[in-house]
């Protein structure tokens, strides 16, 4: 019988699943299935959607779930909204585990955008050689940018529509400042584009951009429905322990 459902796909989700398994808690991690070869967490794993809030509520009720932790990516809008509504319908307590966003510091030249579409408009005015680190699914937002040259780093190969002047670099973090600096120099990058994902796994690119004087277009996080939220795995483990009474 499943006790805890972790909506995962992030490093925090894997760490939480591992911590729960170490404590003898039955846990199932749900992955969206958007990455061909995902890093699998400890415990049981399911891949694919639930069919919206109704489907999630049915799954929770049918699997004896006593708690849900939404540890998905900060930009996973759809599952974040479905998680809140599905847990409410099933009367199962929900926690959101969400890492803090990045903070601009001295020497940073950041340009905030509310969407990838707005980011595409900004890069047209900021530079000629753009490093896109916003994920393969967002590349279509830049498909109409015909003037700049783009380097896009993705875990899996992207699908059209894509920018006409594009080179794809397949890779998966964590990355180093030295490696990111070498990449910026090799490709003569004059603008970096990223989502405000937060965390340490990919923050090296921001440090490299600061040191190289490269402006950064940062896409703001989308709004999510209100939910009890913690910022780290230890706090999430404590919350689950309180729910289970252990």
Ordered domains of the chain (ranges, CATH)? 4-100+223-244 (3.40.50.720), 110-219 (3.40.50)
By percentage, how much of the chain surpasses pLDDT 90?
A: 91
Count how many Cα atoms sit within 13 Å of the Cα of residue 158 in the half-sphere of its side chain: 26
Total residues belonging to the chain: 246
Cα 216 to Cα 222: distance, rounded to the nearest angstrom: 18
- The secondary structure element, H or E, covering residue 233 is helix 233-244
What is the per-residue pLDDT across 109-167, written as a single tens digit (0 to 9) for each?
Answer: 999 999 999 999 999 999 999 999 999 989 999 999 999 999 999 999 999 999 999 99
Q: How far is CA 218 from the centre of its chain?
A: 14
pLDDT band at 1 (very low <50, low <70, confident <90, very high): low
Token readout for 31 is: 């992955």
What is the per-residue pLDDT across 16-44, written as a single tens digit (0 to 9) for each?
Answer: 999 999 999 999 999 987 776 788 999 99
CA distances from 71 to 111, 116, 201, 225 (A): 27, 23, 16, 14
Closest C-alpha to 239, from 12, 16, 28, 44:
16
Q: Are 184 and 214 in contact (CB under 8 A)?
A: yes
Token readout for 211 is: 């040191």
Cα 122 to Cα 120: distance, rounded to the nearest angstrom: 5
Cα 177 to Cα 203: distance, rounded to the nearest angstrom: 8
Q: What is the pTM of this model?
A: 0.92
């Amino acid at each position: 019988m499943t006790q805890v459902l972790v909506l995962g796909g992030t490093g925090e989700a894997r760490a939480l699943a591992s911590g729960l398994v170490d404590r003898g808690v039955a846990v199932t991690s749900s992955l969206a299935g958007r990455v061909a070869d995902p890093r699998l967490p400890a415990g049981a794993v399911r891949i694919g959607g639930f069919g919206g809030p109704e489907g999630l509520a049915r799954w929770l009720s049918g699997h004896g779930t006593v708690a849900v932790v939404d540890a998905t990516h900060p930009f996973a809008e759809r599952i974040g909204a479905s998680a809140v509504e599905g847990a409410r319908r099933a009367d199962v307590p929900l926690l959101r585990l969400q890492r803090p966003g990045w903070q601009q510091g001295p020497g940073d030249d950041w340009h905030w955008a509310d969407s990838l579409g707005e980011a595409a408009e900004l890069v047209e005015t900021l530079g000629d050689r753009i490093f896109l680190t916003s994920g393969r699914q967002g590349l279509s937002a830049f498909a109409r940018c015909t003037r700049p040259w783009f380097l896009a780093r993705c875990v899996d190969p992207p699908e059209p529509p894509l920018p006409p002047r594009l080179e794809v670099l397949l890779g998966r973090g964590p990355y180093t400042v030295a490696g990111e600096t070498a990449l910026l120099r090799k490709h003569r990058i004059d603008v970096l584009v990223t989502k405000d994902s937060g965390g340490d796994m990919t923050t090296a690119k921001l440090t490299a951009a600061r040191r190289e004087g490269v402006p950064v277009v940062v896409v703001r996080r989308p709004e999510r429905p209100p939910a009890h939220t913690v910022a780290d795995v230890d706090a999430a483990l404590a919350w689950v322990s309180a729910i289970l009474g252990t």
